[in-house]
Structure 1
Amino acid sequence: MTARKTFAGARLGEIRRGLGMTQAALGRSLGVSTSYLNQMENNHRPISRDVVQGLAEKFGLDVSVFSMDEGDRLIADLREAMADPVFADAPSRAELQILATNAPGMAHAFLTLHRAYSRAQERLASIDEALERPDAGFSPLPWEEVRDFFHYVDNYLDAVDRAAEQFARTAGFDGRDKIANGARWLAERHGISTRYEGRLIRRYDDASRTLTLSPDQTPATQAFHLAHQVALIAHAGLIEATLDLARFRTDEARAIARIGIANYFAGAAILPYGAFLSAARELRHDLEALAGRFGCSLEQVGHRLSTLQRPGARGVPFFFVRVDQAGTITKRHSSTPLQFARFGGACPLWNVHRAFETPGRILRQLAETPDGVRYLCLATDVIKPGGHFRAPTRRYAIGLGCEVRYADQLVYADDLDTTNAAAYEPIGISCRICERRACHQRSVPPVEKRLSIDANARDVLPYAIRR
């Protein structure tokens, strides 16, 4: 499998100008010709490994600035948007890569425009809804805006993450007595008492300085919500500064993001970055062992693994997803080339759907996406009981995975033959943009391909996809 080429000329030019150097001077310093450097800056050639290494060694540059993670996310989103039948001819991946890398602002503007178009089409298809909401406009919905915010910051907020790690150390929140230590910290630092009563998961009354947690919830859930409230009380300024930088369009989006950032703090406090990264490497990413060591849930462990993107101390790049019983993705994040569809469900061939059939087990799957990248995928079911007889029980499946080149760092790969091409199941992202021609689970044809239809012949699909 060939390595992906990185075209990031605009980024290279910004770095050179930031160093106050001409192309000739930088070329001499890196041992490349001026014309070769000029070709890279103009995207006529990909950024060479020697140039990236030279920038790191001679100027201390963090090579992650040339990471294609954000570009990959933009490319995946652009491909999905361009799969809309309104576009007769979709640009090639190379064209989309140049746009995402060198003009990300334009790419985001296009996605905003396509979102507005899609919502307009939905309104036309439902006149009643359009009449009931004449002022809705074409701006992204608040939850969409917040989802995209976390999506494009790689689900990692450095300042918030470090603040949570500091709290965990000072409050003794990094051990197994999280709730008692956290409650003691709130009482000593802020004069807040913690009670365990009622059925509301969490409630804070500022007038009485009382935090109330439901005794019906698991200790892991109680600890999470205690840390969530710590974020809102002790780090309100940091949260507001982060929200200011995000520049959300509406108060509703800002309010949703405030909760999301507090949730991020809570997860980072329960699983402090340094200690968790060290334990993940020691235990070879054994989900159950990590949950036991830190006294938290499998979902919390899985989500945290996908956020270990601190510069200079990165963990294995994981994707993380949560799916409900209808197949709808309710949480999604990827630090890998695998990007999830922004709308609808996940590929039915993916093992995350089978997790509901085998409760209590962690399923393994070797999978290959249409771009040829291979993954080790893990999936298990998650049950969230309500805590009393009439409370609803919520069921989800969570999926976690990494590129197979990191498989030796996972205990789950020890007895798998990762070198056997036949062991990999073909999975996709979304049927609308999936290039596979012979998938027996395909729900709709790919919009980028033409079809051949023969009324006198029938295979698994009622049509053939032309090459």
Structure 2
Amino acid sequence: MRAPIGFRISNRRKALKLSQAALARLVGISPSYLNLIENNKRDIGGSLLQRVAQHLDIDINQLAGLLEQKLLQDLEEAFADPTVQALPFQPDERRDLVAQYPASAAALSRLHRAYGAAVTSADAYADRLRSDPLLSQMLHQILSSITAVRSSAEILQDVPDLDDAERQRFLAAIGRETLALSDVARNLIGQFDTASQTRRGVSPAREIDDLIIERENYFPTLEDAAAVLRDEIEAAGPFNVVTLTALLGTRFGVSVVFGGAAANVGSDFPGQYRFDTESRVLWFQGAATLATRQFQLARLYGELAAGDVLAEGLQSAALSSPVARRLAARALGTYLAGAMVFPYSRFLSDAEAVRYDIDRLRQIYHASFEQIAHRLVTLRRPGEQGIPFGFLRSDPAGRLTKHFPLPGLLLPNSGHACPLWAIYGAFRTPDTMVCQIVRFADGSRYLFLAQTVQRRTAAFRETVVPTSIMLACNVLHADRTIYSAGLDLQDQSADVPVGPSCRLCTRRECPSRQEEVMAPGGAAAEIRSPLVPAGFALGDLD
């Protein structure tokens, strides 16, 4: 769903006491077209949005309402919840709510998240009660201990002629059973706590999403630290595996081992790299590519040399759980490594020069497809921005394993996306870029770029699971990329009609739909119904 940029333009224009005709003349469009924009009936972006922001003397990010676009996405998901989807919502109700009552919209979003967390927690406890054999065993232990304590207590109460030795024996039995009962109860509580934390695994991921959107996926302190570290490394030699290996050894006492068994984990360790903090050995699988080695060496160097900067970044982030902090620490460490391997200004200049040709950038920086894609989504420096990209990764089963959100584009947080997206089509043509222009139900259009990647096998019998990486940008920026060649960006008849996922999609006529429509507005379309209606009678054939 489009953010209410037009309403914001109208409010700002009126605050400056500018007429529609005056603003239209300043930005070089007709008053009627500006009227359509202000009523949110036409999209605005690119150079036109920049001119409007300039003449209204307002920051372009504030005008575009990037955070409000995220709020719109949250409301889209909340209003599609089965609990409320049958209510007669108006088509523009969510957009108007965000535009006119943003605090109320944020309250609804937070309540929906809290509701989702509560349901997840309740499901976790219900699963434990229904099916966990360990829980059943613990409950039997508790019942046995209670029975033993009760029996001993009844004997002490009902048998008055017990001698002191027998009385002490029953008291000791009660003491042992009480201690055992206490231990089992602690274990039981621990099992519930562990289950609840495990089942809330989606919440930390949502917290990381919020952090990335809040910072617009750009962390200036990490960029500055990366520039300093890059200079240190290049002062010792060319930025490559050899120089990084030597500096890790001389400065931090780290030994780098290629091939053989991973340190302290045996020969069956499935990962491509591992750092053992006790022995200070960084191990790489022999099949690890040059791109993997260079990136992980830079990542370890950055985490050791700029640990205080990473710690400050974590401290300033609002994270509610150890899992969220761990995920954020990994994300910030990876960001720092990317900024070291791909210096911001130089990388942006190269990307613009080759029109964002990912294969050309891979050759220039000795990097992998995924590493280049990661760096492209971080080019958000104010005044020196690249194309705003979103990022998505999927395994062959269609499960989404990583994503960097793009405000305005509803990327599912987990589960599966729309089956028509290029990220799934890429599996049919391995190692080949798939380019796709898509159009959502609200009229927004995007360029999707997807390609499969896989790591090298380490042994004949090793099965390597490929993944698909997708970049997405608004079609307004598509002509700046090499991938627009041969595409008629103005011909919307060639667009692929898509949605975010079947559950959130409002396209009732889609032949690829796998779930019934749950979006607000109208009755749900039944896609799983019998050929013969329920009220069919034999006489109806007349």
TM-score grouping bracket, smaller chain normalisation: 0.7 to 0.9
CA distance in 1 between counterparts of 2:125 and 2:251 reads 55
Q: Which runs of 5+ in 2 are unaligned?
A: 20-37, 41-48, 136-187, 263-271, 534-542
CA distance in 2 between counterparts of 1:176 and 1:290 reads 18
CA distance in 2 between counterparts of 1:441 and 1:455 reads 18
For 1:240, the equivalent position in structure 2 comes to: 311
Q: Is the 8 A contact 2:516 2:525 kept in 1?
A: no
* Distance change (3 Å), C-alpha of 1:309 and 1:202: same
For 2:523, the equivalent position in structure 1 comes to: 450
* Distance change (3 Å), C-alpha of 1:365 and 1:391: same
Equivalent residue letter for 1:450: A
Please state how far the C-alpha of 1:287 moved relative to its aligned partner.
1.0
- Say yes or no: does 1:179 pair with 2:225: no
For 1:360, the equivalent position in structure 2 comes to: 431
* Distance change (3 Å), C-alpha of 1:309 and 1:429: same
For 1:93, the equivalent position in structure 2 comes to: 94
1:219-263 Cα distance to aligned partner (Å, 9 max, x none): 111112112212221111111111111132222321222122111
TM-score w.r.t. structure 2 length?
0.70
Equivalent residue letter for 2:446: Y
Equivalent residue letter for 2:116: R
CA distance in 1 between counterparts of 2:480 and 2:50 reads 25
Please state how far the C-alpha of 1:114 moved relative to its aligned partner.
2.6
Equivalent residue letter for 1:250: S
For 1:309, the equivalent position in structure 2 comes to: 380
Q: Is the 8 A contact 2:3 2:65 kept in 1?
A: no
CA distance in 1 between counterparts of 2:78 and 2:492 reads 31
For 1:118, the equivalent position in structure 2 comes to: 119
- Say yes or no: does 1:331 pair with 2:382: no
1:134-167 Cα distance to aligned partner (Å, 9 max, x none): 3327966444433443354333222113322332
Q: Secondary structure of 1:418's match?
A: coil
Q: Is the 8 A contact 2:422 2:448 kept in 1?
A: yes
* Distance change (3 Å), C-alpha of 1:73 and 1:141: closer
Q: Which of 65, 69, 72 is the aligned partner of 2:66?
A: 69
Greater fraction of residues in helix: 2
Q: Secondary structure of 1:394's match?
A: coil
For 1:41, the equivalent position in structure 2 comes to: none
* Distance change (3 Å), C-alpha of 1:209 and 1:112: same
Equivalent residue letter for 1:422: S
Q: Which of 392, 397, 401 is the aligned partner of 1:321?
A: 392
Q: Which of 327, 335, 339 is the aligned partner of 1:264?
A: 335
1:248-304 Cα distance to aligned partner (Å, 9 max, x none): 222232122212211111222222211111111000011111111111011111122
Q: Is the 8 A contact 2:448 2:470 kept in 1?
A: yes
CA distance in 2 between counterparts of 1:162 and 1:237 reads 13
CA distance in 1 between counterparts of 2:8 and 2:530 reads 48
- Say yes or no: does 1:405 pair with 2:472: no
Q: Secondary structure of 1:440's match?
A: coil
1:84-114 Cα distance to aligned partner (Å, 9 max, x none): 1111425722244238855676355324313
* Distance change (3 Å), C-alpha of 1:50 and 1:261: closer
RCO comparison, higher one (Cα < 8 Å, 6+):
2
For 2:159, the equivalent position in structure 1 comes to: none
Please state how far the C-alpha of 1:205 moved relative to its aligned partner.
4.5
For 1:128, the equivalent position in structure 2 comes to: 130
Question: Greater CA deviation, 331-340 or 404-413?
Answer: 331-340
* Distance change (3 Å), C-alpha of 1:116 and 1:207: closer
Please state how far the C-alpha of 1:50 moved relative to its aligned partner.
8.4
For 2:349, the equivalent position in structure 1 comes to: 278
Please state how far the C-alpha of 1:439 moved relative to its aligned partner.
0.1
Please state how far the C-alpha of 1:336 moved relative to its aligned partner.
4.8
Q: Secondary structure of 1:228's match?
A: helix
For 1:435, the equivalent position in structure 2 comes to: 506
Please state how far the C-alpha of 1:49 moved relative to its aligned partner.
8.5
For 1:153, the equivalent position in structure 2 comes to: 215
- Say yes or no: does 1:196 pair with 2:258: yes
Please state how far the C-alpha of 1:424 moved relative to its aligned partner.
0.5
Q: Is the 8 A contact 1:74 1:100 kept in 2?
A: no
1:186-213 Cα distance to aligned partner (Å, 9 max, x none): 3454444433243443343555554333
Counterparts of 1:11-22 in structure 2 under 5 Å? none
Higher Cα Rg, which structure: 2
For 1:462, the equivalent position in structure 2 comes to: none
CA distance in 2 between counterparts of 1:440 and 1:374 reads 20
- Say yes or no: does 1:414 pair with 2:485: yes
CA distance in 2 between counterparts of 1:108 and 1:272 reads 37
CA distance in 2 between counterparts of 1:99 and 1:110 reads 19
For 1:388, the equivalent position in structure 2 comes to: 459
Please state how far the C-alpha of 1:45 moved relative to its aligned partner.
9.3
Please state how far the C-alpha of 1:175 moved relative to its aligned partner.
10
CA distance in 1 between counterparts of 2:235 and 2:470 reads 27
CA distance in 2 between counterparts of 1:100 and 1:304 reads 36
Q: Is the 8 A contact 2:417 2:501 kept in 1?
A: yes
1:35-79 Cα distance to aligned partner (Å, 9 max, x none): xxxxxxxxx999x988843564xxxx6432333222212211221
Q: Is the 8 A contact 1:77 1:342 kept in 2?
A: no
Q: Is the 8 A contact 1:182 1:227 kept in 2?
A: yes
* Distance change (3 Å), C-alpha of 1:214 and 1:63: same
Q: Secondary structure of 1:303's match?
A: helix
CA distance in 1 between counterparts of 2:210 and 2:290 reads 31
Please state how far the C-alpha of 1:355 moved relative to its aligned partner.
0.9
TM-score w.r.t. structure 1 length?
0.80
Give the CA RMSD over aligned residues: 3.6
CA distance in 2 between counterparts of 1:188 and 1:291 reads 29
* Distance change (3 Å), C-alpha of 1:225 and 1:380: same
Equivalent residue letter for 2:99: I
Please state how far the C-alpha of 1:427 moved relative to its aligned partner.
0.9
Q: Is the 8 A contact 1:176 1:294 kept in 2?
A: no
Q: Secondary structure of 1:267's match?
A: helix
Q: Secondary structure of 1:217's match?
A: coil
CA distance in 2 between counterparts of 1:203 and 1:49 reads 46
